Amino acid sequence: MQRRLLSLLFVAIAAVLGALAVYSIASGGRAMIIGIAAAGLALWMADLARKAWPRS
């Protein structure tokens, strides 16, 4: 049960970082750097969520 909750936490963090990446990239300018970094972190969190999900 705890691994599933940890996985859901990682999914929530990935979703927030993904939304931040989209908003930052859409803003343009210097915010592009923040958007690229947030996109990378979102992918990393999504991968952690995939790995943490319990296998049956």
pLDDT tens-place string over residues 10-52: 999 999 999 999 999 999 999 999 999 999 999 999 999 999 9
> pLDDT band for position 54 (50/70/90)?
confident
Q: Is residue 29 domain-resident? A: yes
Has residue 54 been placed in a domain? no
Q: Against a cut of 0.85, is the pTM above it? A: yes
* Confidence (pLDDT) at 55: 82
Domain with 45, as residue range(s), is: 9-49
Confidence label for 56 from pLDDT (cuts 50, 70 and 90): confident
d(CA 37, CA 10): 17
For the chain, the domain total comes to 1
Q: How far is it, in rounded angstroms, from Cα 55 to Cα 27?
A: 40
As a whole number of angstroms, the longest Cα–Cα distance in the chain is 46
pLDDT range class, residue 9, cuts 50, 70, 90: very high
Task: Indicate the DSSP class of residue 30.
Answer: T
- Alpha carbons 22 and 11: distance in angstroms, whole number: 16
With respect to residue 44, please indicate whether it lies within any of the assigned structural domains: yes
Domain assignment present for 34: yes
